[in-house]
C-alpha cells in the first residue's frame, strides 16, 4: 500500500549507487566524509573525518566539549550491530547536595555546572582505532583546514550568537572574543576561523608523533585529550564563577581527574522486531527505547491506520508517543531498567488499550515490575517561553538551548554502515575555555535533583541523553541508518519516517520530505523541563482537514509552517544486491547527501 504524501516531486533525489554514500546536516561534513571514501577510506574513517568537521562548521549544534551516540555494523559482522557510547557521566563533584546548597532546584541549562565529562572526541578516536584504516593526521586534516582557513558561518549560528550577544559581552568575554570579533555579530556567510581549536587538533596528532603504528598514535592522542592541555585548561578555567542560565554566578565542578577517569566504548543495542524488520537503538540511558515502545504499541493496528498523513494515523502516533515518553521520563536512566517488560507484547497491548478517540492531556506512565514509579516534576510553561511550536533549535538570551544537534550517516561498498548524532558543547553552552576555542557541554541539565529519580544527578552516572540514532536490519543485515537532530523530537520525527518507509511505500527522500509532527505533552529534557498537556506541533502541509480533525479530538495543535519540523537523513544498503542509496533533509537549506 502507499501512504499519503508520497508525491512524485521531491526536494532532492534519493541518491542511488554502489560505491559509497554519506548524508549529514552540513554539506561540508558530507563532502569531507565522501572525500575519504573516494580516497580509499572506509565508513569509519569517513565518519570520524566528517564528525570533526561538524565540530567546526556547526558550532551552535555540537562541539568537542560535548557528546555523541552512534550505532554501526561492520561488513565482517553485519548481524552484530554495536552502539558507540560517547556520552560522558557526571563528574565526581556533581552532587545533588552541592547544587541544592547553591539554591538550585534544577541543573541550569547553560554554564559549567551542567557539564558532563566530554566524551565525543574520545568516542570518535576509539571508533577510528578499532574499525578505521586511516591515520589520525589524515582524518583530522579536513577539520584543521576549515578551522584554520575558515568557513562560511551558517545563518543558524549567527542567530545563536545574536541571541546570546549580551551574555557574551557582559559575562563571557572569551566567547565574545571568538564569536564576536571586534565586538560585532558576524553576518551569515562571513568567513570565520577558529585557530585555537585547530591547534588542539594538531596537538592530538603531535602527541603520537614518536609512536610506531596507527593504533599507538591514536592511543597517544586519547591520552593527550584526557590528561593534557585540554583537560588541565578546562578544569582550571571553570573554577572561576561565571553566569549560568538561571542568572546566578557559579564555578563548575569538573576537574582534570574527571577528564582522565572516563573512556568511551561500545555497548550492545536494544532491538525489537517490527513488520519484518529489526529496529536497533541505544539503551535506556538514552531515549532510544521510547521509539521501540511506540512501535510496539502501534504494531497492533492495521497498516492503513498508521499513515501519518491521515487523521487517525496522526492521532495514534501522537498518543503512542505520549505513553512511551511518559515511561521514558519516569523509568529511564543510567540504571537497570526492566526493558523486557517495557518492550513486551503484553505491555504494549496494555498501553494500546489506554489510547482512545480523544487526545490525552494526562501524564500516564505504566507500572513496571521491580521499579519504583518516580514521577518527574510537571511544570507548564507557555509556548513563548518553551519554544514548543518551533522545530528548529531555540536559544534564549541566557544561553538556554533546546534541540541543538547534528547528524551523520555513512555506508560504504564493503557493507560497513554507521549512524551518529553528535551534540552538546554548543557555542552558547558555557564560556569558551581560554586557549581551546570551544566550551564544555550542558548534558547534566537532563538529570533531576531528586535522589529517588532513575535519572538523578549522581557522579559516575550518565545523564539520560536525547541523542538517538537508529539502525534498521532485515534478515540480520543492515538496511537503513538514520537519525535527526531535534532534542525530544528526534525519535518522534524518526517514527513517521520509519512508518512511511517500512509500511507506506515511500522512498527515503519522499519520507524525509513528507510533512511531520510531534507531541509536546511530556516534560522537556532541556531546562526548564516544561511540558504542554495535550500539545501537538504539526507542519501545515499535513492539511487543514487533518489539523482540524486533531483539534476536534482535543489535541492542542500548534502549526509550525510548511517546512519546519525534522532534519532527518539516512543511508541505505540493499543486503541482497549491495545497492546503496541516501537522502537528506532540505529544511533549513543545510543538510545534504552525496554518493555514487
Do 591 and 26 form a contact (C-beta atoms < 8 A)? yes
Do 514 and 309 form a contact (C-beta atoms < 8 A)? yes
**pLDDT for residue 391:** 40
**pLDDT for residue 529:** 82
Average pLDDT of the residues in 433-461: 96
**pLDDT for residue 336:** 96
CA distances from 264 to 25, 280, 466 (A): 24, 20, 18
Per-residue pLDDT tens digits for 509-542: 999 999 999 999 999 888 788 899 999 999 999 9
One DSSP character per residue, 20-34 reads EEEEESSHHHHHHHH
Cell matching residue 32: 569531507
Do 139 and 467 form a contact (C-beta atoms < 8 A)? no
For residue 395, pLDDT over 80 is answered with no
Cell matching residue 238: 571553570
Close Cβ partners of 346 (under 8 Å, ≥ 6 residues apart): none
Per-residue pLDDT tens digits for 240-262: 999 999 999 999 999 999 999 99
Measured CA to CA, the distance from residue 306 to residue 325 in angstroms comes to: 19
What proportion of the chain, given as a percentage, has pLDDT over 90? 92
**pLDDT for residue 390:** 38
Measured CA to CA, the distance from residue 185 to residue 410 in angstroms comes to: 34
Backbone dihedral angles phi then psi of residue 570, each to the nearest 5 degrees: -160, 160
For residue 211, pLDDT over 90 is answered with yes
Average pLDDT of the residues in 552-561: 97
Please choose, from the candidates 419, 438, 326, the residue with its C-alpha nearest in 3D space to the C-alpha of residue 61: 438
For residue 393, pLDDT over 70 is answered with no
In the predicted model, what is the mean pLDDT of the chain?
94
Per-residue pLDDT tens digits for 130-176: 999 999 999 999 999 999 999 999 999 999 999 999 999 999 999 99
Measured CA to CA, the distance from residue 181 to residue 196 in angstroms comes to: 14
Please choose, from the candidates 571, 474, 580, the residue with its C-alpha nearest in 3D space to the C-alpha of residue 22: 571
Please choose, from the candidates 377, 294, 369, 363, the residue with its C-alpha nearest in 3D space to the C-alpha of residue 338: 369
How far is CA 51 from its chain centroid?
13
Cell matching residue 377: 516534576
Domains and CATH numbers, the chain: 15-268+380-574 (3.60.20.40)
Do 32 and 86 form a contact (C-beta atoms < 8 A)? no
Given pLDDT bands bounded at 50, 70 and 90, which one contains residue 379? Answer: confident
**pLDDT for residue 497:** 98
**pLDDT for residue 385:** 39
Per-residue pLDDT tens digits for 13-58: 999 999 999 999 999 999 999 999 999 999 999 999 999 999 999 9
Measured CA to CA, the distance from residue 470 to residue 473 in angstroms comes to: 10
pTM value is: 0.96
User: What stretches of 246-376 adopt beta strand conformation (E)?
Assistant: 249-250, 265-267, 270-274, 277-281
Per-residue pLDDT tens digits for 260-316: 999 999 999 999 999 999 999 999 999 999 999 999 999 999 999 999 999 999 999
Close Cβ partners of 358 (under 8 Å, ≥ 6 residues apart): 553, 554
Average pLDDT of the residues in 494-519: 97
Please choose, from the candidates 354, 251, 339, the residue with its C-alpha nearest in 3D space to the C-alpha of residue 290: 339
Measured CA to CA, the distance from residue 318 to residue 534 in angstroms comes to: 9
**pLDDT for residue 403:** 52
Given pLDDT bands bounded at 50, 70 and 90, which one contains residue 381? Answer: low
How far is CA 72 from its chain centroid?
15
Q: What is the DSSP letter of 456?
A: B
Identify the residue whose cell numbers are 540504571.
Answer: 335
Measured CA to CA, the distance from residue 452 to residue 373 in angstroms comes to: 9
Amino acid at each position: 500500500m502507499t501512504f499519503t504524501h508520497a508525491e512524485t516531486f521531491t526536494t532532492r533525489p534519493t541518491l542511488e549507487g554502489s560505491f559509497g554514500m554519506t548524508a549529514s546536516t552540513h554539506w561540508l561534513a558530507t563532502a569531507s566524509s565522501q572525500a575519504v571514501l573516494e580516497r580509499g577510506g572506509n565508513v569509519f574513517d569517513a565518519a570520524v573525518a566528517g564528525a570533526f568537521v561538524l565540530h567546526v562548521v556547526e558550532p551552535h549544534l555540537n562541539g568537542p566539549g560535548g557528546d555523541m551516540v552512534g550505532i554501526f555494523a561492520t561488513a565482517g559482522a553485519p548481524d552484530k550491530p554495536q552502539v558507540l557510547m560517547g556520552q560522558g557521566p557526571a563528574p565526581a563533584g556533581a552532587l545533588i547536595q552541592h547544587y541544592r546548597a547553591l539554591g538550585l532546584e534544577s541543573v541550569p541549562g547553560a554554564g559549567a555546572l551542567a557539564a558532563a565529562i566530554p566524551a565525543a572526541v574520545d568516542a570518535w578516536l576509539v571508533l577510528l582505532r578499532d574499525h578505521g584504516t586511516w591515520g589520525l593526521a589524515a582524518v583530522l586534516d579536513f577539520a584543521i583546514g576549515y578551522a584554520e582557513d575558515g568557513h562560511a558561518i551558517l545563518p543558524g549560528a549567527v542567530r545563536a550568537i545574536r541571541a546570546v550577544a549580551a551574555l557574551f559581552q557582559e559575562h563571557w568575554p572569551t566567547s565574545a572574543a571568538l564569536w564576536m570579533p571586534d565586538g560585532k555579530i558576524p553576518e551569515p556567510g562571513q568567513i570565520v576561523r577558529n585557530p585555537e581549536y585547530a591547534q588542539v587538533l594538531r596537538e592530538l596528532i603531535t602527541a603520537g608523533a614518536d609512536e610506531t603504528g596507527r593504533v599507538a598514535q591514536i592511543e597517544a592522542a586519547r591520552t593527550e585529550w584526557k590528561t593534557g592541555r585540554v583537560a588541565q585548561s578546562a578544569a582550571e578555567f571553570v573554577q572561576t564563577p561565571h553566569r549560568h542560565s538561571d542568572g546566578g554566578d557559579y564555578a563548575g565542578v569538573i576537574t582534570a581527574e574527571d577528564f582522565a577517569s572516563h573512556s568511551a566504548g561500545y555497548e550492545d543495542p536494544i532491538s525489537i522486531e517490527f513488520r519484518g524488520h529489526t529496529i536497533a537503538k541505544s539503551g535506556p540511558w538514552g531515549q532510544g527505547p521510547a521509539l521501540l515502545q511506540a512501535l510496539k504499541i502501534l504494531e497492533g493496528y492495521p497498516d492503513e491506520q498508521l499513515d501519518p498523513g491521515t487523521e487517525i494515523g496522526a492521532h495514534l502516533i501522537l498518543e503512542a508517543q505520549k505513553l512511551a515518553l511518559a515511561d521514558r521520563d519516569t523509568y529511564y536512566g543510567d540504571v537497570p531498567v526492566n526493558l523486557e517488560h517495557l518492550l513486551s507484547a503484553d505491555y504494549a497491548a496494555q498501553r494500546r488499550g489506554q489510547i482512545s478517540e480523544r487526545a490525552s492531556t494526562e501524564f500516564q506512565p505504566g507500572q513496571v515490575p521491580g521499579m519504583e514509579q518516580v514521577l518527574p516534576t510537571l511544570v507548564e510553561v507557555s509556548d513563548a517561553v518553551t519554544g514548543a511550536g518551533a522545530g528548529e533549535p531555540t536559544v534564549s538570551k541566557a544561553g538556554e538551548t533546546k534541540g541543538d544537534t547534528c547528524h551523520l550517516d555513512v555506508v560504504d561498498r564493503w557493507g560497513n554502515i554507521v549512524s551518529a548524532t553528535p551534540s552538546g558543547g554548543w557555542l552558547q553552552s558555557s564560556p569558551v575555555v581560554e586557549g581551546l576555542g570551544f566550551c564544555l557541554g550542558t548534558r547534566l541539565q537532563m538529570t533531576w535533583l531528586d535522589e529517588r529519580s532513575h535519572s538523578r544527578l549522581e557522579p559516575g552516572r550518565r545523564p539520560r541523553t536525547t541523542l538517538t540514532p537508529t539502525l534498521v536490519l532485515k534478515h540480520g543485515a543492515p538496511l537503513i541508518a538514520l537519525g535527526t537532530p531535534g532534542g525530544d523530537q528526534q525519535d518522534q520525527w524518526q517514527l513517521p519516517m520509519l512508518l512511511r518507509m517500512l509500511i507506506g511505500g515511500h522512498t527515503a527522500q519522499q519520507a524525509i520530505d513528507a510533512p511531520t509532527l510531534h507531541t509536546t505533552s511530556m516534560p522537556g529534557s532541556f531546562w526548564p523541563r516544561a511540558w504542554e498537556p495535550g500539545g501537538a506541533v504539526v507542519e501545515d502541509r499535513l492539511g487543514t482537514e487533518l489539523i482540524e480533525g486533531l483539534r476536534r479530538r482535543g489535541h492542542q495543535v500548534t502549526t509550525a509552517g510548511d517546512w519546519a519540523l525534522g532534519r532527518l537523513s539516512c543511508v541505505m544498503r540493499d543486503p541482497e544486491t549491495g545497492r546503496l542509496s541516501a537522502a537528506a533533509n532540505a529544511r533549513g537549506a543545510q543538510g545534504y547527501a552525496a554518493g555514487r
